[in-house]
Amino acid sequence: MNACLILAAKQIVLATGSFTLLWSEPGHDARWEEDWTVGLAGFQLIETRVSGDGLEPPEGAERDNGVWYYHAALAVVEDQLLIERHPAKGGRWQICTQGTCQPIPPDDNAANGRALLKPCP
């Protein structure tokens, strides 16, 4: 399965099988990274990493060399991922696959800079 970005009536394939979402929150000196897999049932979170200051790591996270690592206790599967972006405030999102990262393009038709990832063939 692939991860596809839905933009208005378009569908853009961004990643296959597994990918990492990277982002920074406006006004915080923290970087978030989430490793995901995508399959027939949807998206499954594998690991979250948080580095920097300004945001609390998820409950149950462990710190190693300045980075918080978190593994979800349950295999939660999401049928879609809604990405809340705030480009005017400096928030940036990227999607990485096979060592290459690219910005998640904006959807000019979406309110508040939102983007939607869904599984696709």
**Maximum distance among all alpha carbons in the chain?**
44
d(C-alpha 4, C-alpha 67), whole Å: 29
For the chain, residues with pLDDT lower than 70 are 8-9, 25-28, 54-55, 74-76, 85-91, 106-113
- Cβ proximity of 58 and 71 under 8 Å: no
pLDDT digits (tens, 9 = 90+) for 44-59: 999 988 887 766 777 7
pLDDT at 30: 78
CB atoms within 10 A of CB 100: 8
pLDDT at 11: 77
Q: What are the residue ranges spanned by the domains of the chain? A: 2-120
pLDDT digits (tens, 9 = 90+) for 63-77: 898 888 988 776 667
The pTM assigned to this predicted structure is 0.80
Cβ contacts of residue 71 below 8 Å, gap of 6+? Answer: 46, 47, 48
